[in-house]
Structure 1
């Protein structure tokens, strides 16, 4: 099945809830180092697809392979996270009473609870990793500020940084720019493009202006399967996509 340059491979995946088929014979291939935007109307199956990849939902049928030969359908959420699949939900969840740097320390890969993490003497490698992440997420000058003082957009960036601290091979990012200012939205596109130099990324998004800023291949889902795939211009010009979005 798998090619060495494939990070994620879904083939013939279906899942139903109470008779409703949320994912319907879905096939999708993501290459290593690729960033892909997933679009589609509400109920298209975008969130369920991410639930399947992360092990939250088990498909009724189909194959889900990660990084070569790992069959994700045989593993639970915790195991899949440890393998290198990281997920960021729409609403940022950061430790508001801790500094930005402490948030990143708490997220660093490895088993640690909150108190040992905060009093743990960081190694040179950990310090360098945190400095690198602070640069990527545009918060280097705020490292000692409390997370509670950040803007909504900056909290989203911090949570992306916390995901990076776990050193994932694949990041799943759900509507990262919801509620952001225009300036934050543009900066988030640059931030994700920076991350995509070293990681594979799937971005689920409604904001088409933001998807255009990403400048990546787009997959449009509808009723749980792929409706159209290609550049944003190609997908936007697809009559079926226009019909799904505009209902005409």
Structure 2
């Protein structure tokens, strides 16, 4: 199967320090992948490059069925092309209800002019209810987002990204600060999302990665050190030396 995203020979330096060093990475449609590695391995920079926040010094980033290059595209254009990113700290509209947050995420697919005259259609409201069920917030629709727990805010932000029908979802440390029950639902949510889009999860919590039960990519000094199942990764002596043994 062809790759949805293909990163090939990408490097980027900051003040002489190579944050990403000849990195190659590929993911297919409807695939779940975890990325692990020590601090400074290049995990965040990798996501910055894919979303257009950081421009690489060299290499290629090829996207989608039409094999378009993402290089030279703005962050907004890359988001419109179907790449959604969830940062570690949830960013939701705290003064708006869960329902309003999800409706706004649906609206963001429209032009600003169309959004001015937007009226909620029955189809949109069905989609909002569907999303609320998926993110375990069906009973919180009319609650202000600011009143939600940390874990619930994380789910709402994932729901807002899913409302935009992404083809690729980049998720940064979703398990951080969650209760065990919240982690369990987050695992189920990401596994379910990966049935319809590619999902890349950057995570430090190895127990959470094990629950995802997916292929794992280990980054070290801006390059791929190892790739495979978690059992394969945890038995790799180089991975143990640079990351797991710490």
1:35 to 32, 47, 67: 32
Normalization by structure 2: what TM-score? 0.95
2:82 to 71, 81, 84: 84
Q: Deviations over 1:68-120 (max 9, x none)?
A: 3110012010110010100000000111111100001111122348x848xx4
* Distance in 2, Cα, partners of 1:13 & 1:73: 11
Name the stretch that deviates more: 42-51 or 66-75. Answer: 66-75
* Distance in 2, Cα, partners of 1:86 & 1:61: 23
TM-aligned CA deviation for residue 184 of structure 1: 0.7
Q: Deviations over 1:183-213 (max 9, x none)?
A: 1111100111111111111000000000001
Once the two structures are superposed, the pairs formed by residues 223-234 of structure 1 within 5 Å of their partners are: 223-234=221-232
After superposition, the Cα gap between the structure-2 partners of 1:216 and 1:246, relative to the gap in structure 1 and judged at 3 Å, is closer
* Distance in 2, Cα, partners of 1:125 & 1:45: 41
Q: Who is 1:169 aligned against?
A: 167
Structure 1: 4+ residue segments shifted above 6 A: none
Match of 2:158, SS?
A: helix
2:148 to 144, 147, 150: 150
Once the two structures are superposed, the pairs formed by residues 200-219 of structure 1 within 5 Å of their partners are: 200-219=198-217
After superposition, the Cα gap between the structure-2 partners of 1:130 and 1:112, relative to the gap in structure 1 and judged at 3 Å, is farther
* Distance in 1, Cα, partners of 2:148 & 2:57: 42
Q: Deviations over 1:1-35 (max 9, x none)?
A: xxx63111011010001000000010011011101
* Distance in 1, Cα, partners of 2:164 & 2:221: 33
Q: Who is 2:54 aligned against?
A: 57
TM-aligned CA deviation for residue 162 of structure 1: 0.7
Does residue 6 (structure 1) correspond to residue 19 (structure 2)? The answer is no
TM-aligned CA deviation for residue 246 of structure 1: 4.8
* Distance in 2, Cα, partners of 1:55 & 1:246: 31
After superposition, the Cα gap between the structure-2 partners of 1:82 and 1:45, relative to the gap in structure 1 and judged at 3 Å, is same
**What do you get for the CA RMSD once the two structures are aligned?**
1.5
Q: Who is 1:160 aligned against?
A: 158
Does residue 110 (structure 1) correspond to residue 107 (structure 2)? The answer is no
Normalization by structure 1: what TM-score? 0.94
Can you give the 5+ residue segments of structure 1 that lack an aligned partner in the other structure?
Answer: none
Once the two structures are superposed, the pairs formed by residues 234-245 of structure 1 within 5 Å of their partners are: 234-245=232-243
* Distance in 2, Cα, partners of 1:207 & 1:110: 37
* Distance in 2, Cα, partners of 1:78 & 1:71: 15
Does residue 66 (structure 1) correspond to residue 88 (structure 2)? The answer is no
Match of 2:93, SS?
A: coil
Can you give the 5+ residue segments of structure 2 that lack an aligned partner in the other structure?
Answer: none
Match of 1:73, SS?
A: coil
TM-aligned CA deviation for residue 125 of structure 1: 2.2
Contact 2:234 2:244 survives alignment (8 Å):
no
